[in-house]
Amino acid sequence: MSEVFTGNFTQQEPLPEASIAAAEVVLRHGRLHRYNVAEGEVSETARLEEDFAASTGAAYALAVASGGYALGCALRACGVVPGEPVLTNAFTLAPVPGAIAGVGAVPVFVGVTEALVIDMDDLAKKLESARVLLLSHMRGHICDMDALMALCDAAGVTVIEDCAHTMGARWNGTPTGRFGKMGCFSTQTYKHINAGEGGLLISDDAEAMARAVLLSGSYMLYDHHRAAPPAEVFAGLRYDVPNISGRMDNLRAAILRPQLKALTRQAGRWNDRYTRLARGLADVPGLTLPVRCAKEQFVASSFQFLLLDWAAPDVIAVVDGCAARGVALKWFGAAEPAGFTSRYDSWRYADTPPLPATDRILAGLLDMRLPLTFSLEDCALIARIIRDVVMQVRGTP
């Protein structure tokens, strides 16, 4: 009998009791809007911003309605204008080019390497064509940030980081989101902390953050913030920056604050699961694990492997064979986008020339969620199943 996995790849853990208790307090007083506060009260949203700034070391933080909103808000706050080209990763998820399109700008895609990070050579070639790079730390893979910042700084290109998959992660000790001018995070259910929806933005740049606060829909209530620039920075902007409403509310913030406190511990649990899978899939002929640099302190919430240069029917046989045994893999090489695995060439609003080196990687790229509801034994079992199926399809005994 071959082994079968029966776990659910989309089931996260329940929220901690502290989140449930904090939510109940907000529900009972009813002041869910972030600027609806009692005399002397500091809203949960303002406190979350303060907590997040402290946890990342950023001077400023802003909580917003979603990760995608944070990206669009950062692009606007950095002065991106309609029609302008914006560089971004070819290997990312749809809300990233979507945020660029949302401000009327034009995504220009940069290729991906076998390590699943942005291709520095391709980036170097394209840096002259844009003023801004929206860098996606896609699936938690972090490129050599020292090299990337050196390249971008030399070219005068502003970096905005999409940290939807890197909350709590670092490069050489520095948290992601702290390298570029702004860092954007998501608190959607499938990311590292879960409020259903939500986003966070960090920056050390007072003017960009004051713009972001105004953009997010602060009316003239920005003095309620505790992790925002001082009032004088707003004075020069308040008549010129439109309100593009996208605030976070106190219920979500209340749910998130206890989870943020637990993030480091949760990150360790995620990485234990990742390590168990990686160990189980080491030395499978034909299967490559993306190389991770020692300076990359990632927080795994998903797992990727490559079947490089395999024929498409064989990759499909692996996906189907794993599915039959309860292991849900998503393939980034499929001709038609399915679920969340759309590719750069399915975002047809951006007119993109082919990227053959990237196509080769995506054609062999398999992706799996790694919820904390999986035990370490579950991960070992999943690895055994993948190993079995890969060996079978390859015809290896």
Ligand X SMILES: *Cc1c(COP(=O)(O)O)cnc(C)c1O
Which residues are marked as active site? Answer: 191
Find the part of the chain contacting ligand X (CB under 6 A) among 33-41, 65-73, 153-161, 386-394.
65-73
Binding to ligand X by CB under 6 A, coded x per residue (else -) over 8-47, reads: ----------------------------------------
Residue with smaller CB distance to ligand X, 164 or 287: 164
Residue with smaller CB distance to ligand X, 186 or 218: 186
Residues in the interface with ligand X (CB under 6 A) total: 15
Question: What does the DSSP assignment read for 10-63?
Answer: T-PPPPPHHHHHHHHHHHHH---STT---TT---HHHHHHHHHHHHHT-SEEEE
Min CB(300)–ligand X separation in Å: 14
Indicate whether 141 belongs to the interface with ligand X (CB under 6 A): no
List strand residue ranges (DSSP E) for 165-275, in order. Answer: 170-171, 174-175, 182-186, 199-203
What tokens does 186 get? Answer: 């998501």
Beginning with the edge strand found earlier in the chain, give each strand of the sheet holding 182-186 in spatial order.
Answer: 60-64, 199-203, 182-186, 158-162, 132-136, 85-89, 106-110
Residue with smaller CB distance to ligand X, 96 or 381: 96
User: Judging by beta carbons within 10 Å of its beta carbon (0-12, 13-18, 19+), is residue 336 exposed, middle or buried?
Assistant: exposed
Contacts of 60 (CB under 8 A, 6+ apart): 53, 202, 203, 204, 205, 206, 209, 227, 228, 229
The binder of ligand X chosen from 72, 95, 177, 229 (CB under 6 A): 95
Find the part of the chain contacting ligand X (CB under 6 A) among 47-55, 89-97, 297-305, 306-314.
89-97
| Helix H or strand E segment including 73 | helix 67-77
Min CB(393)–ligand X separation in Å: 29
Min CB(92)–ligand X separation in Å: 5
Find the part of the chain contacting ligand X (CB under 6 A) among 35-43, 50-58, 162-170, 260-268.
162-170
Indicate whether 162 belongs to the interface with ligand X (CB under 6 A): yes
Min CB(184)–ligand X separation in Å: 7
What tokens does 104 get? Answer: 């009327």
- Considering only the C-alpha atoms of the chain, give the largest distance between any 2 of them, rounded to a whole number of Å: 72
Find the part of the chain contacting ligand X (CB under 6 A) among 158-166, 172-180, 298-306, 342-350.
158-166
Indicate whether 93 belongs to the interface with ligand X (CB under 6 A): yes
Give Cα 286 distance to the centre of its chain. 29
Indicate whether 182 belongs to the interface with ligand X (CB under 6 A): no
Residue with smaller CB distance to ligand X, 73 or 287: 73
Indicate whether 136 belongs to the interface with ligand X (CB under 6 A): yes
The answer to whether 86 and 106 are in contact (CB under 8 A) is yes
The answer to whether 87 and 227 are in contact (CB under 8 A) is no
| Helix H or strand E segment including 158 | strand 158-162
The binder of ligand X chosen from 92, 158, 259, 301 (CB under 6 A): 92
Find the part of the chain contacting ligand X (CB under 6 A) among 5-13, 62-70, 102-110, 220-228.
62-70
Indicate whether 362 belongs to the interface with ligand X (CB under 6 A): no
Residue with smaller CB distance to ligand X, 132 or 164: 164
C-alpha torsion 202→136→94→34, nearest 10: -10
Contacts of 160 (CB under 8 A, 6+ apart): 71, 74, 75, 78, 132, 133, 134, 135, 180, 181, 182, 183, 184
C-beta nearest to ligand X: residue: 67
Binding to ligand X by CB under 6 A, coded x per residue (else -) over 192-211, reads: -------x------------
| Helix H or strand E segment including 358 | helix 356-363
Interface with ligand X by CB under 6 A: which residues?
66-68, 92-93, 95-96, 136, 138, 162, 164-165, 186, 188, 199
